[in-house]
């Protein structure tokens, strides 16, 4: 039986296909004692906002309900007792291993994945179990590899943090992975838009980015943090830090829902408030 001292986390990635300027890995983590409450709450919010099937960033277009689910997700994390959201944004142009002849891009990707999960366990300073979205990898046991390498790194630190399990999981069965998906997708899209001014996300995605940014007191999601214990954006590698700048998180409590008319006109009508 789990104890309150354990942590549980759900992770997903965004922007890894093709030849991206950046990709992101996001992790939603919380005390394991609240896992069932977390699952029930977000399952109910999927129904409340009429989200059909999985909540995924790729589906954020004309569905105001899915955008509002993303807003509820971040709002709930920011105001929860134990939950937090961490996202690593990797600038592929300065990440040497991404463009190395000695390492595949899949290897480079999982190297950054391991760094992020090590950070999660180190900060928690307690056992942490991680569920990651099941990717189509050339090596099937990537989850076991992350756990092994991550724990070797953690063993060198004077702390209690460790990875008690890293598991590939079907996102359809884990709403926590779906929450990580939509939040990570929004952060990555904001960064991709900055890297390529000609990249214009769908209006629904632009509105989602705008509202999510307002929730942490920002005008966009393309920044990194100091870090923050609730909403932490980590620019990687070191050469990419504070580009365009580092921002302090300033949590806002009144953020308007998206209405159907907003997806037509791009308006900002605060008729329903979180």
What is the rounded CA–CA span in Å between residue 82 and residue 169? 23
Question: Using one digit for the tens of pLDDT, what is the confidence trace for 103-140?
Answer: 999 999 999 999 999 999 999 999 999 999 998 888 88
Which residue in 49, 22, 13 sits closest to 208, CA to CA? 49
4: pLDDT strictly greater than 90: no
Give the model confidence (pLDDT) of 211-238 as tens digits.
Answer: 999 999 999 999 999 989 999 999 999 9
Q: Which residues of 119-140 are buried (b: 16+ CB within 10 A; e: fewer)?
A: bbbbbbebbbbbbbbeeeeeee
* C-alpha closest to that of 83 among 180, 170, 164: 180
**Nearest Cα to 181, choosing from 202, 210, 199, 208?**
208
Residue 270 has pLDDT above 80, yes or no: no
Per-residue pLDDT band at 266 (split at 50, 70, 90): low
Distance CA 165, CA 113 (A): 14
Domains and CATH numbers, the chain: 7-265 (3.30.420.10)
Cβ atoms of 68 and 207 within 8 Å: the answer is no
Contacts of 169 (CB under 8 A, 6+ apart): 131, 132, 133, 134, 177
Give the pLDDT band (50/70/90) at residue 63.
confident
The confidence band for 269, taking pLDDT boundaries of 50, 70 and 90, is very low
DSSP letter, residue 258 = P
Report the pLDDT value the prediction gives residue 154, as an integer from 0 to 100. 96
3-state secondary structure of 222: coil
Backbone angles phi, psi at 210, to 5 degrees: -60, -45
């Amino acid at each position: 039986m789990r104890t309150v001292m354990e942590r549980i986390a759900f992770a997903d990635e965004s922007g890894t296909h093709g030849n991206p300027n950046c990709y992101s890995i996001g992790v939603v983590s919380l005390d394991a004692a609240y896992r069932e409450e977390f699952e029930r709450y977000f399952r109910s919010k999927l129904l409340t906002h009429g989200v059909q099937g999985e909540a995924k960033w790729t589906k954020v277009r004309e569905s105001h309900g899915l955008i509002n689910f993303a807003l509820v997700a971040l709002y709930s994390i920011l105001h929860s007792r134990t939950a937090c959201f961490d996202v690593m944004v990797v600038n592929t142009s300065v990440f040497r291993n991404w463009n190395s002849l000695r390492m595949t891009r899949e290897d480079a990707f999982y190297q950054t994945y391991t760094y992020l999960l090590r950070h999660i366990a180190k900060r928690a300073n307690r056992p942490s179990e991680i569920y990651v979205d099941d990717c189509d990898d050339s090596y099937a046991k990537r989850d076991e590899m992350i756990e092994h390498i991550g724990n070797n790194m953690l063993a060198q630190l004077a702390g209690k943090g460790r990875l008690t399990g890293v598991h590939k999981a079907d996102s359809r069965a884990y709403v926590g992975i779906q929450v990580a998906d939509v939040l990570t997708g929004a952060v990555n899209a904001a960064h991709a838009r900055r890297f390529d001014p000609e990249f214009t996300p769908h209006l629904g995605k632009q509105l989602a980015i705008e509202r999510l940014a307002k929730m942490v007191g920002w005008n966009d999601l393309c920044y990194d943090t100091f870090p923050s214990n609730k909403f932490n954006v980590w620019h990687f590698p070191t050469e990419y830090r504070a580009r365009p700048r580092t921002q302090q998180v300033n949590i806002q409590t009144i953020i308007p829902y998206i209405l159907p008319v907003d997806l037509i006109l791009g308006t900002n009508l605060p008729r329903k408030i979180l």
